[in-house]
Structure 1
Amino acid sequence: MRILLTGSSGWLGRFLAPRLRALGHDVTGLDIAPGTDTDVVGTVADRALIDRLFGERGIEAVIHGGALHKPDIVRYPNQAFIDVNSSGTLNLIEAAVAARASRFVFTSTTSLMISTAIREARGETAVWIDEEMAPLEPRNIYGVTKLAAEQLCRLIHRDHGLPVIVLRTSRFFPEDDDTHHDLSGENMKANELLHRRLTVEDAAEAHVIALERAPKIGFGTFIVSAPTPFARDEVAALKADAPAVIARHFPDAAALYERYGWHLPRSIDRVYDSGLAERVLGFRCATDFAAVLKAMRDGEELPFAHDASYISPKETLAAN
């Protein structure tokens, strides 16, 4: 297929573009920053550019991974988020309809499901998060604009029949967390694979599967995260004493962590349930917390990327 991939210079794009090309697809990479997998430098907010690309390149499918993200809140005004995340999505999906494209995959985020109350861990139990959770009350402009973009995808599918898959990905960024600094980056990423993270390789593969399955599914919204070992009836215990729950599932986790000088989470405030993606989309992340423990046990390289010095290509461009 002739695929338009937005965000091709970003962290996901650098893994997804080569994967798509290896499968024989003709990929046009679009990003505001130059990159190895970027063919066109420009913004999704430029409707004239988008229409021209569809016409000149004969685009048959779209994977829309480009966006402003949560760390960008301190660098860009609210209007920029609306222009890129919401209006940019509308530009792309309307162009896809006009071009009679066969499918559209939208990279969304679990962040839009996190209210201020969840973010501040106010409840007495961990929050079990699946696609049925409502109402959605995004806590910042990033979540608001991504939720608006999801609704635009739903509307266009309803009105025009374009097959659309929305992937609410959990965390897969390589850099350190911009708000939590009490654990090392690798320690924190390992912990998050219990309940709110996936690898970038798994994120890329989820998009490949979504691209294949979109025409059969029609429309679907899926949380994409490493499969959690926990059950819904463990939410109270996870909030009160996470190490005890982890020990039930992984008896040697504490000893392995001690060997690394790491710390297990004392409390877990949310759990992303990716079961629907497994049941309906046919996708399950290859890497989970058990894989981390196996690597620690066997003295092998950890199965996820960590790069404390990573800087988004668009920010590198801005700095120059």
Structure 2
Amino acid sequence: MRILLTGSSGWLGRYLAPMLREAGHQVVGLDVAPGPDTRIVGSVANRALIDRVMFSHGIEGVIHAAALHKPDIVRYPRQAFVDVNVTGTLNLLEAAVAAGADRFVFTSTTSLMITQAIRDETADEAVWLDEASGPLKPRNIYGVTKRSAEELCRLVHGETGLPVIVLRTSRFFPEDDDTHRDLSGENMKANEFLNRRLTVEDCARAHIVALDRAPAIRFRTYVVSAPTPFARSDVAQLKQDAPAVIARLFPDAAELYASRNWHLPRHIGRVYDAGAIERDLRFRCATDFAAILAALREGAPLPFEHDATYVSPKE
């Protein structure tokens, strides 16, 4: 199948393109920055370019991973987010319909589910987040535009029947968090596998499964994150004493962390539940918190990417 992959030079794109080829697809990569898997350098906001690419390459399916992201807020005006994340998505959806493509996968974000109150952790217990969570009140232009793009996906599917799967991915960026400095980058990433992170490899695999199943599913939104070890009944204790919950589930976690001078989270304010994609698509991330501890136990390399110096190719 001939697949248009937007964001092909980005962090996710560099993993997705080879996996798509391994699955037997022909990949046409499009990105604003050059890259080894980018055939067309240009913006999704350029409708004439999108139409030309879609028809000249006989595109049969689209994975739309290109976007301006949360760290870009300090570099770009709000209008740029609207142009790329909203108009660009509409361009691709309409061009896909016109070209007769039969599947569309949209890379969204769990960030749009996080209100300011959730981010500030004002609740007395951890907030359990899945596809039914709401009302959605994104707290910045990134979340607002990704939410708007999701609604365009819903609208175009409803009007045309184009099969669309929206993947709300949790964190998989390799660089350090730009707002938290209390822990080392690796320590923080390891902690997040408890409740809000996945590997970039698992993220890419989820997209390929979604691409394959989209015609059968027709339209669905899925949270994509490493499977949490917690249950909904843990939410009160997670907020008050997360190490106690972790110790119950992973008795040697504190000792393994101490061997690297790492720290477990004292409180956990949110948990992403990726159960729906596992039930519907039979997709489960391969790397979870247990895999992190296994690597520490065996003295093996950590099973996730960390690069404090990573900079997006577009910059």
TM-score (norm 1): 0.98
Partner of 2:3: 3
SS in 2 for 1:35: coil
Structure 1: state its 5+ residue gaps: 316-320
Deviations 1:134-158 (A, max 9, x none): 1000000000000000000000000
Following superposition, which runs of at least 4 residues in structure 1 exceed 3 angstroms of deviation?
A: none
Letter in 1 for 2:49: L
Deviations 1:225-244 (A, max 9, x none): 00000000111100001000
SS in 1 for 2:210: helix
Q: Partners in 2 of 1:43 and 1:166 — Cα distance? A: 21
Deviations 1:26-80 (A, max 9, x none): 1000000000110000000000000000111000000000000000000000000
Partner of 1:155: 155
Structure 2: state its 5+ residue gaps: none
What is the aligned-residue RMSD (CA, Å)?
A: 0.4
Partner of 1:283: 283
SS in 2 for 1:18: helix
Letter in 2 for 1:289: F
* Percent of aligned pairs with the same amino acid: 73
Deviation at 1:24, TM superposition (A): 1.6
Q: Partners in 1 of 2:123 and 2:235 — Cα distance? A: 11
Deviation at 1:210, TM superposition (A): 0.2
Deviations 1:235-290 (A, max 9, x none): 11000010000001000000000001100000000000000010012210000000
SS in 2 for 1:223: strand
TM-score (norm 2): 1.00
Partner of 1:48: 48
Q: Partners in 2 of 1:104 and 1:23 — Cα distance? A: 17
Partner of 1:16: 16
Letter in 2 for 1:207: H
Deviation at 1:186, TM superposition (A): 0.3
Partner of 1:109: 109
Deviation at 1:133, TM superposition (A): 0.6
Taking the TM superposition and a 5 Å limit, the aligned residue runs for 1:294-313 are 294-313=294-313
Q: Partners in 2 of 1:190 and 1:152 — Cα distance? A: 34
Answer yes or no: is 1:217 the counterpart of 2:239.
no
SS in 1 for 2:10: coil
Letter in 1 for 2:91: N
Partner of 2:62: 62
Deviation at 1:23, TM superposition (A): 1.5
Partner of 2:234: 234
SS in 2 for 1:263: coil
Q: Partners in 2 of 1:254 and 1:222 — Cα distance? A: 32
Deviations 1:60-114 (A, max 9, x none): 0000000000000000000000000011000000000001101000000000000
SS in 1 for 2:209: helix
Letter in 2 for 1:98: A
SS in 1 for 2:268: coil
SS in 2 for 1:260: coil
Partner of 1:318: none
Q: Partners in 2 of 1:256 and 1:209 — Cα distance? A: 34
Q: Partners in 2 of 1:179 and 1:78 — Cα distance? A: 20
Answer yes or no: is 1:125 the counterpart of 2:113.
no
Letter in 2 for 1:140: N
How many residues matched? 315
Q: Partners in 1 of 2:147 and 2:2 — Cα distance? A: 27
Deviation at 1:181, TM superposition (A): 0.5
